Amino acid sequence: MDSTIDKKINILGKTLPEMEELFLNLNQKPFRAKQALKWIHQRGISNFDQMTDFSKELRSLLNDSFYIKAPNISYEKLSDDGTKKWVLEVSEHDSIEMVLIPEGKRSTLCVSSQVGCAINCSFCATGKQGFSRNLTASEIIGQVWLAANSFGVPRTGNDKNITNIVMMGMGEPLHNFNPVVSAMNIMLNENAYGLSKRKVTLSTSGLVPEINKLSKVSDVSLTISLHAPNDELRNTLVPVNKKYPIQELLSSVKDYVEGCNDKRVTTFEYILIDKVNDTLELAKELADLLSQIKCKINLIPFNEFNESDYLQPSGNRVRKFKDYLVSRGYVTTIRSTRGDDIMAACGQLVGQVNDKTRRKERIQKAKIAAQSI
């Protein structure tokens, strides 16, 4: 990066209060912050000289102190079903992935929060890559900015090409708490993307203290990656369960939803893995477990990838699991597999991770050792 840029501040990830403070420091009125947000996020502008309702003097001040930059696009792929995946370079050895899923009038953007993931769920390709670092707020909201700009620039303030955003890409969002909350605040702000709190969803593996902390600063929709109805099985699939077991997690979820003061329900995601967690006995256990929580259940047939021996269950096993839950009164959906031909489906995002945990290296050594026996 240019040494002159190193001394400047990237304001792409600045929230409205942070932007107001920056303008006050330039001896400018705070309402300029709203104007800047609109130029950046509603119109997709990254050049201060194009912000024509600012004076030349102010534009010069902004150029001297700040810049606007999203991650670089390494490449993009388009699936046969219309799903689009971008690979974004965030540093020399680190890349992330984001996915845009169109469906009728709805278009959902799946956003990453980390380079890799430290949780290491046994069914997730991201976790197999290890972990490098957290993303900055600019790198998180930059994904939204790039996806919105893919529909054409300059945008108008009325463009709603992205209707929903899910924090379900690479990483555990609550492990990167402050930048994720800042980025979500920009998604919700009427001067930026103006999405409703029901249209922004955070998915977590179940970090109980952070869920409790989130309830004090945000009321976006919450999705829980559950994947098992008992601690013994979930300890294997989602290792963080050993620290925050299911009953403790469900208690924090109840508190979060009650704090939202509306009729919202929690979504529980359940990846179905052939002959691992897809039996009718486990469906009954799941129905019993969630009986006291207003919720819906999203079943996700496992998406296979090279580093995993798990298999996707047959359509018949998936339907039987769903039908039982429906018979117990649960709103239950089966997520259609989207983008699997370009490795963009749930659990398949890998990017490029400069793994500081050396997890990928250990997995490779274990595989080689097993083959030599």
Contact (Cβ atoms closer than 8 angstroms) between residue 124 and residue 112: no
What is the spatial distance between Cα 360 and Cα 332, in angstroms, rounded to a whole number?
35
Contact (Cβ atoms closer than 8 angstroms) between residue 127 and residue 120: yes
Close Cβ partners of 217 (under 8 Å, ≥ 6 residues apart)? 181
Beta bridge partners of 295: 266
Take residue 349 and report the two structure tokens written for it: 């995002």
**At residue 114, what are phi and psi to the nearest 5 degrees?**
-145, 160
Contact (Cβ atoms closer than 8 angstroms) between residue 226 and residue 267: no
DSSP state at residue 39: I
The active-site residue out of 18, 304, 346, 361 is: 346
How far from chain centre, in Å, is Cα 280?
30
H helix intervals, the chain: 3-6, 16-25, 31-37, 56-65, 125-128, 137-149, 177-188, 208-214, 231-237, 246-259, 280-289, 315-327, 359-372
Q: What is the largest CA-CA distance in the chain?
A: 73
User: Please, is 247 exposed, middle or buried when counting C-beta atoms within 10 Å of its C-beta (0-12, 13-18, 19+)?
Assistant: exposed
Take residue 152 and report the two structure tokens written for it: 């054409």
To the query of whether residue 346 is one of the catalytic residues in this protein, the response is: yes
The active-site residue out of 20, 97, 139, 210 is: 97
Beta bridge partners of 267: 223, 296
Beta bridge partners of 306: none
Enzyme catalytic residues:
97, 346
